[in-house]
Chains A and B, each alone.
Chain A
Amino acid sequence: MNENLFNYILQQADNCLILGQRLGEWCGHGPVLEQDIAMTNIALDLIGQSRMLYQYAAEVQDEGKSEDDLAYLRDAWDFKNVLLVEQTNGDFAKTILRQFLFDSFNCPFYEKLKDSNDERLAAIAEKSHKEALYHLKWSSDWVLRLGDGTEESHERIQNALEELWSYSEEIVNPSEADDDAKEKGYGVDLDAIKSERTDKIKEVLEEATLAVPEGTYNHSGGKEGKHTEYLGYILADLQFLQRAYPGNEW
């Protein structure tokens, strides 16, 4: 098995699955009906993207496993998602900011992945990029609306920014799989995304009258399977059915 390719696919698949699961927690609890639907729609897109990626990862793994095995039967230390996506929903402002930090990566990531020399990854990227564009528009709009909104909405999203800022960079810092993907041409050069992403983030935060935090410390470890305590709880929810009733199908 091509271990680096496998891990590379999992990194993105796990990001999409875990963030999709987090957004799904909002179902029925959104601040207004339209935004409740927006969050679950985005969750659906992300879980759809993770399925395409897991299907491919299972083929690369070549051990007769399926997308379901990868989603439901791996443990926390096998997951390669970045720490940002597993952070708790908090209030609506924190969910929006987490989404914006992710979308500002996801959009250029898929755009560049369309040029992958791996046809399958390029096809998945082509499909997913259109969706990611829409997500970025939604989350940017909401960062603006909350930041440049009322005193309370401003304070809440500024707090979210302080809380999540140290989780922002990990996604553009290369792992071993990222380096291999760049070198062999099946993946994306993260350095090329980094500056574009930073510019986009700064531009939106500035327009939203938010202050960029001064801290430069960055959490990391997700891509190597070292997670915050939250991931275990997410998996307990997500994997319950398959763990309790192995092999159960709809």
Chain B
Amino acid sequence: MVIDQDHISQLLEEVTDPEIPVISIRDLGILRDIKIENDQIEIVITPTYSGCPAMLEIEKNINNTLKKNGIENFKIATVLSPAWTTDWMSEEGKQKLKDYGIAPPNPTGESDIQCPNCGSYNTILVSQFGSTACKSLFKCEDCLEPFDYFKCH
């Protein structure tokens, strides 16, 4: 078996954000790099928010996934710079968020957020801070459902 970046990347596809289990750490932009040098593997990750409690869980899951697949000679490095941004979220990731009921980050601002339930743009911000540090709380004025919006960061 050849251990290359693609192979590791594929294995890590099963490591998801524990708060949003439909989206992988690659889709989310947390997985920054996979470096392989003389059989030594380095997985580079970056936190979404500095106090994100999911980071420890994510490290553990990377650890378990790689070991389960017989990979032992790796280490996990956390980098802060460049700081994580929602621009790194993949298009696929944004679609998965939406399907899950979370409005994906909207680069044009918070005035035209689409309700993930009914598709209406008639929505209002309820609170800048939602169920986790990375989300705000919105409400749809048409279907009246509250929903999480993944903040543009």
CB-CB nearest in chain B for A120 = B80
Task: Determine, out of A80-88, A127-135, A205-213, A218-226, the stretch whose residues face the partner at the interface.
Answer: A127-135
Asked if A52 is at the interface of the complex by the 8 Å CB criterion, the answer is: yes
Contact with A along B44-60 (1 / 0, CB 8 A): 00010111110000000
Asked if A235 is at the interface of the complex by the 8 Å CB criterion, the answer is: no
Task: Determine, out of A37-45, A174-182, A239-247, the stretch whose residues face the partner at the interface.
Answer: A37-45
**Known contacts A52-B80, A126-B82, A127-B80; A134/B50 CB under 8 A:** no
In terms of DSSP, what is the predominant structure of the interface of chain A?
helix
In terms of DSSP, what is the predominant structure of the interface of chain B?
loop
> How far, in whole Å, are A35 and B127 apart by their CA atoms in the complex?
8
Are A138's CB and B128's CB within 8 A?
A: yes
The minimal Cβ–Cβ distance linking A44 to chain B, given in whole angstroms, is 4
Q: How many residue pairs bridge A and B at CB < 8 Å?
A: 64
Are A51's CB and B50's CB within 8 A?
A: yes
Are B50's CB and A37's CB within 8 A?
A: no
Are B128's CB and A44's CB within 8 A?
A: no
Are B128's CB and A127's CB within 8 A?
A: no
Asked if B18 is at the interface of the complex by the 8 Å CB criterion, the answer is: no
**Known contacts A34-B137, A52-B80, A122-B81; A127/B129 CB under 8 A:** no
Interface residues of A in 25-57 (CB under 8 A from B): 34-35, 37-38, 41-42, 44-49, 51-52
Determine the chain A residues whose CB is within 8 A of the CB of B82 once the complex forms: 126
The minimal Cβ–Cβ distance linking B135 to chain A, given in whole angstroms, is 9
Are B51's CB and A47's CB within 8 A?
A: yes
Are B50's CB and A128's CB within 8 A?
A: yes
Are A45's CB and B81's CB within 8 A?
A: no
Give the size category of B's interface with A. Answer: 20 to 34
Determine the chain A residues whose CB is within 8 A of the CB of B53 once the complex forms: 44
Are A134's CB and B80's CB within 8 A?
A: no
**Known contacts A38-B129, A127-B47, A134-B128; A48/B52 CB under 8 A:** yes
The 4 closest A-B pairs by CB, nearest first: A48-B51, A48-B50, A34-B127, A123-B81
A sample of 23 inter-chain contacts (CB < 8 A) reads A34-B126, A34-B127, A34-B129, A35-B127, A37-B127, A37-B129, A38-B127, A42-B129, A44-B51, A44-B53, A45-B50, A46-B51, A48-B50, A48-B52, A119-B81, A123-B83, A126-B83, A127-B47, A127-B80, A127-B83, A128-B50, A134-B128, A138-B129
